[in-house]
Structure 1
Amino acid sequence: MTFLCRLLLLGALAAPSQGNRLGPTSRLRYSRFLDTSNVIFLRWDFDLEAEIITFELQVRTVGWVGLGVTDRYTRAGSDLVVGGVLPDGNVYFSDRHLVDEDTLAEDGSQDAKLLGLTEDAVYTTMRFSRPFRSCDPHDQDITSDTMRVLAAYGPDDTLKLDRERTFVKSIFLLQVVHPDDLEVPEDTIIHDLELVDYLIPEDDTTYACTFLPLPIVSEKHHIYKFEPKLVEHNESMVHHILVYACGNASALPAGINECYGADPAFSLCSQVVVGWAVGGTVSPGAGNMQRPGGTWEAGGLGAAPSSQSSCDQTSLPPQSYQFPDDVGVSIGTPLDPQWIRLEIHYSNFHNLPGVYDSSGIRMYYTPRLRKYDMGVLQLGVFTFPIHFIPPGAESYLSYGLCKTERFLEISGAPVPDIQVFGYLLHTHLAGRALQAVQYRNGTQLRTICKDDSYDFNLQETRDLPHRISIMPGDELLIECHYQTLDRDSVTFGGPSTINEMCLIFLFYYPRNNISSCMGYPDILYVAQELGEEASDPMEAVMVLNNVEWTPETIKKSEKVCKEAQQVVVIKTIDVSVRIQDATPWG
């Protein structure tokens, strides 16, 4: 078996397509800074067919450099490919791993292939390739999940880890569509949807909403790209930005107010059009409002390279999300929304006073029409306190069910099959993994999308490698995996970052008027099975605080929530309908 594995690996490393496309001088399409001081710059690209990924690491040092993959909880066991150039000009290069947090050891199997290693007076640059999966247990797999990329370097050629020169950054490495592959219409028009000089409250969490008109056009146009506009000093406060389409019959309030406060009118409009959140990427091309950084909630890349850096700024991909060339958001027809609700979630955990913000979304649109009008379908667990996660849980799963067989009844018109081309995953700090699973006629058909290594600080809109068809009658089950070992009380669903959410947004075409389809378990049944008495759902939520949460009761709670009947909530652009007869998933 070991011989066969090595033979297959050598064949993959020698694949002609990889050598032709991603050799020692090939352009690598993707790039990121891995540290806030812009000392470590990474370029990469990959060959999905050959399952080979190529990295080029450039570090401002004349010592050794290293790049690898680690996990969420510990650096022990991380893999690290290291290399450098000795003072006499000789090159060293090896595939290694961390025995513990500080000790490097060479792998018994050398699975990285050196493509180039140079050093000048300022930079050491190392290019190498490696398979997505190797036969070496010390090598971590490269997958379509969020990857935690580990980079390290030294001031000289002594291979010794220094915590001040070791960095971890979450990156979605296997991006199947690059912005350079997409068309940019010459007749592009730019329009900004933003708050202006909004005084951020001193509260921990604020959802600020206002209603804004979309561009007035005399004929149909398509929005084909969007990006965030963030005031630099407020980036850390902006948790997410959402744009919701409003029904044209809606009576909308004026001004800026709390989205989910005393005036319910500010929560009108539920059909998500676009969104950004912390950890997504910030556009470098919108003037002094922005810096390169993080699409849906704000980590980031740091500032652009200085003029003295050999890192070419043009190699940085546009930090925005662009729809496929045949898809766009329609505006300008009688069926299209004329107004939107702009929602910005602020997290002012330091309760800073006197901070003004003018953040928002910049959108790009064109009269050159695409083939399909797109929509966004929000799935998951309905966000309110009936969604709960026990404290002290090593692992806990929540489930939200969507029954598409009711779309015809709710929408009042036939709903065609939808073609899903992209997605966005969203939980808060306890989230560890998410997935959307499709069922047809009671049988699991496929996993639409997933991330088994989710990171709150990297929430980006992602493209599917292949478009997926969802037919009326299919059931969509969203599963969210949480960990709450650091918590001593129940975490409830809610809008604050310290609450939780379980949401997946599917980007699809052709557009219909269903905006969301989410579920939640029968909480009275759940409380009863956990040995608590309650006469109504709110009391059932309250008595969960009386449960003695042990590993046994945590697992029982997870099982009971899965077995409980799901209440499904389906919304159109203006209306919400609850369905009580959903199927248990036990």
Structure 2
Amino acid sequence: MSCVLLFRLFLLLGLVIPSQGSRLGPTSPLRYSRFLDSSNIIFLRWDFDLQTEIITFELQVQTSGWVGLGITNRYTNVGGDLVVGGVLPDGKVYFSDQHLVDEDTLEEDGSQDAELLGLTEDGLYTTMRFSRPFRSCDPQDQDITSDTMRVLTAYGLDDTPKLHRKRTFVKSIFLLQIFYHDDTDAPEDAIIYDLEITDFLIPEADTTYACTFLPLPIVSKKHHIYKFEPKLLAHNETMVHHILVYACGNASTLPTGIDECYGFDAAFSLCSQVIMGWAVGGLSYQLPDEVGISIGTPLDPQWIRLEIHYSNFHNLPGIYDSSGIRLYYTSHLRKYDLGILELGVLTFPIHFIPPGAESFKSYGLCKTDKFEEMNGAPVNDMIVASYLLHTHLAGRALRAVQYRNGKQLRTICKDDSYDFSLQETRDLPHLVDIKPGDELLVECNYQTLDRDSTTFGGISTINEMCLIFLFYYPRNNISSCLGFPDIIYVANELGEEASENPMENLIVLENIDWTPENIRKAEKACKEARQTVMIKTINELIENTTGWIPDITPAPRGPCLESSGGKVEPQDKNPAGFRAAPVALPHSNMATPAAFPLAALLWLHGALLWLLVIL
């Protein structure tokens, strides 16, 4: 009997003490996947654990030679890391953590920070699975963060790891993506509805904004749109830059046909509340399980403006297009109605970026203290679940920062490695609560070393934008909250004679000698100038207020130290962008053990010794 009791106690102790590791094994399913080349011969799967800060990759390549996967930066592959592996003809496996010393040469790292989980070759594919920490202490390893990552892949035709440019690829991927939904659990009554421009002749021009007005699905009771995705013609994909769907007020008088959105007919620019959107590089997007876009009630829009931005840089003639957005909606209602708030800098030529700038920051302020007055009813806290970042070609980084009672509260979202070719809606790792009265600041960082004239805000791809769309619930009537600086103050600070006509000041800015000193003066003046904040509702009501740009306090980073969960820095509150508030990932196959109290372990240890003495 005593032996049975002792065995049960050991079994209980084994159950309650968590394992010290939490890594995906050699056969664990990985949630995310992507082809990394245009020929679809390089396929990547991956998954990660936010608590231990460990990421697992599985690379599959159609080759019997070596394969490699790593991270590089925006401008050069030199210095990028590459984990290399393969199977020799005799069946022996080789595996190594390396880096690029130049564009063609690999060298093994002094510190081996990747852990091999599997390496096979079947005559057609070589498949390598390994894990690595988000941040190692090896200076030859690139950090994996919540920014856009440049994933570097390469392979060879034999087992001699040597880079060949035709077999080396870089693809921008948002690796640490979080999904608040279950793709496998689609509603039984899901209905598909397409919003599209049919057989539109794309003009022979660099930039075209084509708009038309379309009805939303006609339903007899409330429904929720829970998913949307781009509908693109395969041969026109490179011409479609973004697609936006704007809700129209039900009292609006709308034009018919298709026309330039921002041309001579101002009616085609009506409706300003974005309710869904897609941009180049993005995929489909499914809303969190508790949230949907409401249709079918008297308060919901019945019509939308569909806007498609075409970039026909080669001025190709005779190209017809039928792109749009595909909606999925259901009568199985979610708990909340979705709203989208547009933040940033007003898209207008007052927004300017000097040429020849290594870095130039623009700021757009939003003050929410007038939201309730303009909404016409009390405004609930806005719970932000996801976001979409948007600049044009000069954009390098964006962030949205939240302030309450004059103090910086948090960075809502950011990307310090923004890529114009990868613009997608991203879920936040934790929900963000915006209260009435909070201030929201958008900062955009640009680089214009390749330009010799001033870049102004505008709708063309060669102009610039600075926008962040916050997807939140419950919905209110505010559509946008955008800021812009006092351009007269900026001109005066640059030593120029300013005009009361803002547009005349743009000519002044165009003619400035943009030395590095003047670039820094302009950036400082734009930040110190009084901001006009323009707030707009879905019914096109506009009200302006003013404010000042607050300082942004960056999160400090401590020294890189090793820990049991991977090489991370314990002093850093946010080393990878997500560590500050880890959340449980639904439908994940990863084990994430909770910390077991030390006092409880000591008590169990004492109880075990006591029982042994009694027995």
Match of residue 467, structure 1, among 424, 428, 431 = 431
Question: Match for residue 543 of structure 1?
Answer: 508
Moved more, 231-240 or 408-417: 408-417
Q: Distance in 1 between matches of 2:174 and 2:456?
A: 29
Q: Distance in 2 between matches of 1:59 and 1:46?
A: 21
Pairing 1:44-443 to 2, within 5 Å after superposition: 44-177=46-179, 180=182, 183-281=185-283, 320-443=284-407
The 3-state SS of whatever aligns with 1:413 is: coil
TM-score (norm 2): 0.85
| Partner AA of 1:73 in structure 2 | Y
In structure 2, the gaps of 5 or more residues are: 1-17, 552-615
Q: Distance in 1 between matches of 2:116 and 2:338?
A: 44
| Partner AA of 2:66 in structure 1 | W
Instruction: Describe the shift of the 1:233–1:181 C-alpha distance in structure 2 as closer, same or farther (beyond 3 A).
Output: closer
Q: Aligned-pair distance for 1:183?
A: 3.3
Native 8 Å contact 2:367 2:440 kept in 1: yes
Aligned length: 533
| Partner AA of 2:250 in structure 1 | N
| Partner AA of 1:443 in structure 2 | K
Higher relative contact order structure (alpha carbons within 8 Å, sequence separation ≥ 6): 2
Quote the RMSD (CA, aligned, Å). Answer: 1.3
The 3-state SS of whatever aligns with 2:526 is: helix
Question: Match for residue 531 of structure 2?
Answer: 566
Residues 549-584 of structure 1: per-residue CA shift (max 9 Å, x gap): 011110110000000000111110122424243224
Native 8 Å contact 1:15 1:50 kept in 2: no
Q: Aligned-pair distance for 1:178?
A: 6.7
Native 8 Å contact 1:517 1:568 kept in 2: yes
The 3-state SS of whatever aligns with 2:102 is: coil
Q: Aligned-pair distance for 1:103?
A: 1.5
Q: Distance in 1 between matches of 2:371 and 2:545?
A: 15
Instruction: Describe the shift of the 1:523–1:344 C-alpha distance in structure 2 as closer, same or farther (beyond 3 A).
Output: same
Native 8 Å contact 1:182 1:325 kept in 2: no
Question: Match for residue 575 of structure 2?
Answer: none
Residues 206-253 of structure 1: per-residue CA shift (max 9 Å, x gap): 100000001111100000000010011111111100000000000000
Residues 345-383 of structure 1: per-residue CA shift (max 9 Å, x gap): 011111111111110000000000000001000000000
Q: Distance in 1 between matches of 2:143 and 2:365?
A: 31
Native 8 Å contact 1:279 1:458 kept in 2: yes
Q: Aligned-pair distance for 1:410?
A: 2.1
Q: Aligned-pair distance for 1:447?
A: 0.3
Match of residue 18, structure 1, among 7, 18, 22 = 22
Q: Distance in 1 between matches of 2:288 and 2:74?
A: 32
Q: Distance in 1 between matches of 2:302 and 2:183?
A: 31
Native 8 Å contact 2:150 2:170 kept in 1: yes
Instruction: Describe the shift of the 1:39–1:341 C-alpha distance in structure 2 as closer, same or farther (beyond 3 A).
Output: same
Q: Distance in 2 between matches of 1:554 and 1:564?
A: 15
| Partner AA of 1:114 in structure 2 | L
Native 8 Å contact 2:341 2:471 kept in 1: yes
Native 8 Å contact 1:279 1:460 kept in 2: yes
Instruction: Describe the shift of the 1:508–1:469 C-alpha distance in structure 2 as closer, same or farther (beyond 3 A).
Output: same
Residues 468-498 of structure 1: per-residue CA shift (max 9 Å, x gap): 1000100000000100000000000000100
Match of residue 417, structure 2, among 453, 463, 473 = 453
Q: Distance in 2 between matches of 1:181 and 1:196?
A: 29
| Partner AA of 2:516 in structure 1 | P
Question: Match for residue 524 of structure 1?
Answer: 488
Native 8 Å contact 1:195 1:360 kept in 2: yes
Q: Which runs of 4+ in 1 moved over 4 A?
A: 14-17
The 3-state SS of whatever aligns with 1:562 is: helix
Match of residue 477, structure 1, among 392, 416, 441 = 441
Q: Distance in 2 between matches of 1:584 and 1:75?
A: 37
| Partner AA of 2:225 in structure 1 | I
| Partner AA of 1:146 in structure 2 | T
Q: Aligned-pair distance for 1:99?
A: 1.2
Instruction: Describe the shift of the 1:389–1:182 C-alpha distance in structure 2 as closer, same or farther (beyond 3 A).
Output: farther
Native 8 Å contact 2:365 2:549 kept in 1: no
Q: Aligned-pair distance for 1:499?
A: 0.4
Native 8 Å contact 1:569 1:576 kept in 2: no
Identity of aligned residues (%): 77
Q: Aligned-pair distance for 1:171?
A: 0.3
Question: Match for residue 488 of structure 1?
Answer: 452
Q: Does 1:575 align with 2:546?
A: no
| Partner AA of 1:25 in structure 2 | T
Moved more, 177-186 or 153-162: 177-186
Q: Distance in 2 between matches of 1:216 and 1:180?
A: 27
Q: Aligned-pair distance for 1:412?
A: 2.3
Instruction: Describe the shift of the 1:165–1:483 C-alpha distance in structure 2 as closer, same or farther (beyond 3 A).
Output: same
The 3-state SS of whatever aligns with 1:176 is: coil
Larger CA Rg, structure 1 vs 2: 2
Residues 501-534 of structure 1: per-residue CA shift (max 9 Å, x gap): 0000000000000000000000111111111123
Question: Match for residue 303 of structure 1?
Answer: none
TM-score (norm 1): 0.89
Question: Match for residue 557 of structure 1?
Answer: 522
Q: Aligned-pair distance for 1:59?
A: 0.7
| Partner AA of 1:18 in structure 2 | S
The 3-state SS of whatever aligns with 1:405 is: coil
In structure 1, the gaps of 5 or more residues are: 1-13, 282-319
Q: Aligned-pair distance for 1:49?
A: 1.2
Q: Distance in 1 between matches of 2:375 and 2:392?
A: 31
Q: Distance in 1 between matches of 2:422 and 2:20?
A: 34
Question: Match for residue 4 of structure 1?
Answer: none
Native 8 Å contact 1:29 1:178 kept in 2: no
Question: Match for residue 35 of structure 2?
Answer: 33
Q: Distance in 2 between matches of 1:150 and 1:576?
A: 48
Question: Match for residue 444 of structure 1?
Answer: 408
Q: Distance in 1 between matches of 2:160 and 2:529?
A: 59
The 3-state SS of whatever aligns with 1:275 is: strand
Moved more, 177-186 or 84-93: 177-186
Q: Distance in 2 between matches of 1:581 and 1:367?
A: 43
Q: Distance in 2 between matches of 1:29 and 1:580?
A: 46
